[in-house]
Structures are given as structure tokens and as C-alpha cells.
Amino acid sequence: MATVRQPAVAGMFYPSDPTELRTMVDGYLSEAAEVARVPKAIIAPHAGFIYSGPIAASAYTAIAAARHQIKRVVLLGPAHRVGFHGLAASHADFFRTPLGDVSIDKAALEKIIELPQLHWLDEAHTLEHSLEVQLPFLQRLLDDFTLIPLVVGDCAATEVEQVLKLLWGGDETLIVISSDLSHYHDYLTAQQMDRTTSNAIEQLDGRAIHYESACGRNGILGLLAAVEKHQMTIRTIDLRNSGDTAGARDQVVGYGAYLVE
């Protein structure tokens, strides 16, 4: 019998009504600037949609032209609920959102699960929002695709890069790293911190990216290592915070959108 990872933050981080959710995501995408080239990987934020949705859309609109090309998405997001070392895989056959079910690439998971940093750890997925909030964007932009969802715990960049190396694939594979940036600083401080982090990301300088710089730091560092090995580049296409979208400016959360080309 198929097992389904049920949505944990529908109705909180994004609408639980399918029509409302579809309209919200499509609205964000329609307002995002078009991008000429389809990226190999993106970094996108994972907060409530009213806060980070417009910035996430800036990254996701870049894959619109690859609707029929991308067949597999490797999705990595940081652990917020469960502490563990390495990366956590789920036994679920499908991940569900109000827009429907996304099939899990179980064959790919079986391929990488022998790595010492990989674990079957369903509890890391049960309440985790960093992966879930990416799915409605993918569902609106891609046709048929399978998902490889991994929650990233305490691990080194080399451990993440090793996983990405095995899953890198070709044009059929998109890699998504889920991460917000600075947390709970005033507006101007956050702007300065997030610009510094974005410069480090573009320069592939993982040493300048700290845990207070980005909550998805471990996934980002692994991606930067992979980008360097593939002799690719990464660029910032959107950099805002919750003070720009739907929040007060005394304590904001930073969001960035990045493309690997």
C-alpha cells in the first residue's frame, strides 16, 4: 500500500484551498521577471508565502521554459524540527499538497541510501516545512516529475556535495536548495548581512557563510562545492526581506533567489 507524506503547513504557510493556492502561486510567478536561461539549480526561500513567495517566484520562473524537460527534482532543505547528523530520506511514496501528490523517486533514494551520511528518518519529514513549501511552485510549473526530498541536518559540505554528485544528472534533473537568509534583525542590518551572504554565494566562498547567515547553510555549502567542481556560476536574481513583502521592519527575515547556470 502506498504511503503519503501529508502536508504539515497547508493553511498556515500557504492556502489549503487548491484554487486559492493555485491563484496565489500563479500571481507570484506572473509578477516575477523572466529569465533567459534555464538553470541547473536554484536556491529559494521557504517562509510563509505572503512573506517569501514573491522571492521564491523569482527563482522558479526561470524553469518555466523547461516544463516538459525537467523530469526529476532533487530537493534539499534544512531541518527545523528534528536534530540529526547527515541527510534524512523518507519512506513515503508520495508527498501531498492541496494541488495533488508528487511521486517520490524511490530508485534514486535506494541508489544513495548506502552513503554513510544518508538515513531513513521519516520523523525529520513529518512536520518539516522547508521542503513542503517548494512543492506548489514545482507543481504549477512542471508537468510530470518525480521528487527526491532530503532534509539536511548537521553535516559537512563534502557530505552534501557527494549526494549531489550522485544525483546531478542532465537537463532532466533540477536541484533545489531551500534556505532563508538572516533572521530577526532590523531592516537595514538584514539588508547588509544578506548582501554580504549573497556576495559570498556568488563568489562560491563558503567560509563567509555562517549559520546566522542562512538557515539552509549546509545545503548551500554543498551546492557551492558542486558548482565549483562543475565550473558553473551562481547569481543572485532577487534579494529582499519580510519588511519588503508583508511584515514590519524592526525584526525581519531575509530571502534570496539564486540561479546556477
pLDDT of 35:
86
Smallest Cα–Cα separation from 175: which of 202, 148, 153, 194?
148
% of the chain exceeding 90 in pLDDT:
97
pLDDT of 205:
97
The total number of residues written for the chain in this structure: 261
Cα–Cα distance list, 120 to 69, 156, 209 (Å): 29, 18, 28
Each residue's pLDDT tens digit, 98-133:
999 999 999 999 999 999 999 999 999 999 999 999
Over residues 78-105, mean pLDDT: 97
Task: Give the span between the Cα atoms of 54 and 255, in whole angstroms.
Answer: 10
Residue 34 has pLDDT above 90, yes or no: no
Instruction: Provide the pLDDT confidence category of residue 36 given band limits of 50, 70 and 90.
Output: confident
Task: Give the span between the Cα atoms of 30 and 131, in whole angstroms.
Answer: 22
Residue 230 has pLDDT above 90, yes or no: yes
pLDDT of 115:
98
pLDDT of 1:
81
CA angle 120, 126, 129 (to 5 degrees): 115
Q: What is the DSSP letter of 85?
A: B
Provide the CB-side half-sphere exposure for 249 (13 A, CA): 7
> Domain 4-173+189-260 in CATH: superfamily?
LigB-like (3.40.830.10)
Instruction: Provide the pLDDT confidence category of residue 247 given band limits of 50, 70 and 90.
Output: confident
Residue bearing cell 502506498: 2
Each residue's pLDDT tens digit, 150-184:
999 999 999 999 999 999 999 999 999 999 999 99
Q: CB–CB of 179/212 below 8 Å? A: no
pLDDT of 97:
98
